[in-house]
Structure 1
Amino acid sequence: MRRLLKPMNYLPPVFGPEPEAEFKTKKQAIYPAITGLDVQNPWRLLRDSEVDALTPGQISELAERFDLTLDLVRDLSRELAATLHEGSLLGAVEVEKEKAAERGSKGLLEALERSKKVSDQLNKCGNALQPLGGEFTYGAQPASDLLEVKESQQVIQRLVNALVDDLSKLSSQDQPAFVFDATDLRKVSDRRRIGVVYDCCLTWRAAGKPVTYTTTPDGSKRSTRGGPLIEFVQTIVALNVTSPNFILSADTIQKDIEAFKKLPSDAE
């Protein structure tokens, strides 16, 4: 059973094709780790020393309950450990290159406008200092201090003017800077959940079982989702991969199953 999502310790962001098969698109993206996210489910993060997400007893129980071989469930336990590894790319946030570039350009333009205002204020400061003289205090400390103030203003003015020129040149280039964070944290997807569901689907299919679910009308506009695979995923999630234990909704699992079924065979 091949992994969909391999753990990877966080490295400095590098642009390129998305590294995970199920998230393949034509866009370019990076995956920086961003703190402060409101994670949907309380996933238990595993360290390098934890190679299994499930205990031996849980593995035996799952194999018997869902008619799976012990080897398949042991493999699943290791796959889940990789998916929930604290350094997994699943814990990172996708940042699209185009959006990052757009926000970077906006930040540069803001810096340019602010530097121009500083330059303008410094110029006014220089104009105010220019007529001042120390003739009546010649040779005394105040005259010397005034001269130093004027020289300081001129030095700072030159530095700020150079900054304005550099920012202006940089802003005119194509995608000169990027902002490496999520545009809208409210839209960040729960990738650990997707990884867990996909791991379960791979195990289920490796056992020769149909990757599907049942739909039962419940008298309302919506229908109740169920079936052995959904029950299997819910059992896995409630066992040891969330802390505190959490029951994943059948509707959410159903959507992830549909996404899994659309994957090309070479992505699994």
Structure 2
Amino acid sequence: MTQQNPKTDSADHPSQLPPDDYSILPHRDHVTQEAIPFILADYGDDGAFSEQQVSTLAERHNLSETQLRELSRLVGYSLDIDTEANLIKITRSKVQRRLNSSRLPKVRGDNSLDATEANALFKSLGLVVSVVEDLGDSERNDASETVANEPPNTTTISLDKARRVLQPDDRRKERDSRRLLVVESCCYVALDAGWPITYTTDSSVEKNQRGGRLIALIKDVIGMVSHKGHVASVHTLKADIEMVRSRLEMRGELP
């Protein structure tokens, strides 16, 4: 987990945070509404594709099995359960306001967050909060109380409330970084195969059928490594390709 210095690292207006305010950047999957339900696992160097999937992709996209095994490894690294790809921004003052609010906004909580991690996040934010699994059936989820074995100023909250409080500052600004890593992996292999890092905009075909061979490859890959064969939006993939292309240009990796 990364902590930002408000004087130097704040994304937009570094001088606007008060001296005692700051942001942390914990890793969290499936935060954005559009996050792809990738199959996360301990892939290591084995790659994310089965041999059958390698053969299928080779046949569909005229790529060598060597290139596709390399793509399998790159995608596996992107989706490895230990890869902290999605760093979300949580600011202390915003968490404090949510803690003090009697009515939290109706946002999707993060069910993967457990009490131990929630307590660690509050500690990183310098907030004296104790998270427990359940405050009891007679307590409301947003109730809080002081317990005897904690400092007198400790606020105790349920895990349910902690999940609603420890939200990103602005979900709209968060990205599905694992998806972007998968797209970047496909672009690297496409470059190796001599493909241009681009897409088509043929308006004569249905919207989600546009895109060209790079997008077709990315869609097939995402379908293979996501739950229920997720179909990625062409519009989203075009934006991702533009971002990857900009990165490659900055690194001098485009031909």
Q: Same fold (TM over 0.5)?
A: yes
CA distance in 1, matches of 2:83, 2:238: 24
Does the 8 Å contact 1:45/1:84 carry over to 2? yes
Measured in 1, the distance between the counterparts of 2:48 and 2:57 equals 13
Q: Which residue of 2 aligns with 1:126?
A: none
Q: Residues of 2 paired with 1:73 and 1:54: CA distance?
A: 9
State how far apart, in whole Å, the 1-side matches of 2:61 and 2:237 are: 17
Runs of at least 5 residues in structure 2 that lack an aligned partner in the other structure: 6-10, 15-21, 102-150, 154-164
TM-align CA RMSD: 3.8
Pairing 1:217–2:203 present: yes
1:91-133 deviations in whole A, cap 9, x for unaligned? x33217xxx25547869999xxxxxxxxxxxxxxxxxxxxxxx
Q: Distance in 1 between matches of 2:235 and 2:65?
A: 28
Counterpart of 2:55 in structure 1 is: 60
Distance 1:267 1:106, change over 3 A: farther
Q: Gaps spanning 5+ residues in structure 1: where? A: 1-11, 17-23, 111-158, 164-178
Residue equivalent to 1:226: 211
Describe the shift of the 1:260–1:33 C-alpha distance in structure 2 as closer, same or farther (beyond 3 A): closer
In structure 2, the CA distance between the partners of 1:209 and 1:51, relative to structure 1 (3 Å rule), is same
Whether contact under 8 Å (1:216, 1:224) holds in the other structure is: no
TM-score for the superposition, normalised by structure 2: 0.57
- Residue identity in the other structure for 1:61: T
SS in 1 for 2:210: strand
> Displacement of 1:75 after TM fit?
0.8
Report how far residue 50 of structure 1 moved: 7.1
**CA positional deviation for 1:44:** 0.5
| Equivalent position amino acid for 1:31 in 2 | L
Q: Percent identity?
A: 27
Alignment match of 2:190 (pick from 183, 188, 204)? 204
State whether residues 51 and 82 of structure 1, in contact with CA within 8 Å, keep that contact through their aligned partners in structure 2.
no
Matches within 5 A, 1:125-204: 181-185=167-171, 187-204=173-190
Query: How far apart are residue 196 of structure 1 and its match?
Result: 1.1
User: How far off its partner does 1:54 sit?
Assistant: 0.4
Output the amino acid matched with 1:231: A
Q: Contact 1:53 / 1:81 at 8 angstroms: preserved in 2? A: yes
Distance of 1:107 and 1:234 partners within structure 2: 39
Tell me how many residue pairs correspond in the alignment: 179
For 2:225, the aligned partner's letter is V
User: Judging changes above 3 Å, is the alpha-carbon distance between structure 1 residues 39 and 267 closer, same or farther for their aligned structure 2 residues?
Assistant: farther
Question: Is 1:95 matched up with 2:53?
Answer: no
Residue by residue over 1:216-261, the C-alpha shift from the partner in whole angstroms, topping out at 9 and shown as x without a partner, is 12499x89632111111111111x2101111112111111111111
Larger radius of gyration: 1
The residue aligned with 1:259 is: 243
Residues 217, 224 of structure 1: 8 Å contact kept: no
Query: Residues 124-160 of structure 1, C-alpha deviation per residue, up to 9 Å, x if partnerless?
Result: xxxxxxxxxxxxxxxxxxxxxxxxxxxxxxxxxxx99
The structure with more helix, counted as a fraction of residues: 1
What are the residue-to-residue correspondences of 1:9-158 with 2, within 5 Å?
A: 12-15=1-4, 30-34=24-28, 37=31, 40-48=35-43, 51-90=46-85, 92-95=86-89, 100=91, 102-103=93-94
| Cα distance, 1:244–1:36 mapped onto 2, change above 3 Å | closer
Q: CA deviation at 1:88?
A: 1.6
The higher relative CO (CA closer than 8 Å, separation ≥ 6) is in: 1
Deviation at 1:48, TM superposition (A): 4.9
Q: Is the 8 A contact 1:31 1:89 kept in 2?
A: no
Q: Is the 8 A contact 2:54 2:69 kept in 1?
A: yes
Q: Relative to structure 1, is the Cα distance of residues 39 and 229 closer, same or farther in structure 2, using a 3 angstrom cutoff?
A: closer
